[in-house]
């Protein structure tokens, strides 16, 4: 019979196992359907904006107008990043700290520096 500590260690180890040919890990706690839908909607909007920028470049549109559209797309992507960072902090980071993995704080600091 496994102890709580052994189960936590196994869970941590299994989260870090690399799937065959894939270097990405999977989230232990699923994202809510509402968050997934909101993120998908925002990403689709940003993709549409970037496709619009591409068309503007191909149409030789005015630089200021292109830059304005690029700023809008960047803002949309940044908002998605903020939402996912917040979700990460509330779920993954909290779970790791509760499991005794304080090293996750270093990971969070690295992620946050990418946004500064």
- How confident is the model over 21-25, as a mean pLDDT? 60
- pLDDT of residue 55 exceeding 70, the answer is yes
Instruction: Give the whole-angstrom CA distance, residue 43 versus residue 76.
Output: 7
Which pair of structure tokens corresponds to residue 86?
Answer: 């917040």
- Per-residue model confidence (pLDDT) at position 116: 72
pTM of the model: 0.72
- Per-residue model confidence (pLDDT) at position 23: 58
User: What tens digit of pLDDT does each residue of 56-88 get?
Assistant: 999 999 999 999 999 999 999 999 999 999 999
- Per-residue model confidence (pLDDT) at position 28: 80
The tokens 């909007």 sit on which residue?
45
């Amino acid at each position: 019979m496994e102890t709580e500590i052994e189960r936590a260690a196994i869970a941590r180890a299994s989260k870090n196992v690399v799937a065959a040919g894939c270097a990405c890990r999977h989230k232990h706690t699923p994202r809510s359907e509402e968050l997934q839908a909101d993120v998908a909607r925002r990403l689709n909007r940003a993709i549409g904006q970037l496709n619009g920028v591409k068309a503007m470049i191909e149409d030789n549109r005015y630089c200021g107008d292109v830059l304005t559209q690029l700023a809008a797309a960047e803002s949309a992507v940044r908002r998605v990043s903020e939402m996912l960072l917040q979700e990460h902090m509330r779920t993954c980071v909290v779970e790791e700290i509760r499991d005794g993995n304080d090293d996750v704080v270093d990971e969070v600091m690295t992620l946050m520096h990418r946004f500064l």
